[in-house]
Amino acid sequence: MHILHTEEEPGVSTMTVAFAEDDHMFEVSADGDTAHVAYQETRTWRGVIRQAEPDESVYKELMTSDEMTAFLDRYECTRVKRAPPIP
């Protein structure tokens, strides 16, 4: 697994967990001392897009990644919450 990170605007980033044939996309946003993580979608290498919550192992990989740690440090977030999926 590896993480791709794109900062959309200050305090809002898209992070993608690439695992096997799937790319799991999340929006991470800072709100005060809390980072909100919202699952967006999963894309397969064949171009299929689906919206189904990924396995906990995908969330664990995201939460323990260097990219997430850097985001939390940059915006001084001390808590992380899962937000509802973005429609």
CA distance 1 to 61: 8
pLDDT tens by residue, 10-58: 999 999 999 888 999 999 999 999 999 999 999 988 888 888 888 899 9
Domain boundary assignment for the chain: 2-83
Please provide residue 68's backbone torsions phi and psi, each rounded to the nearest 5 degrees. Answer: -65, -45
**Residue-level pLDDT at 65:** 95
pLDDT at res. 30: 96
DSSP designation for 79: E
Distances (CA, A) of 32 to 6, 25, 43, 77, 87: 20, 23, 31, 7, 24
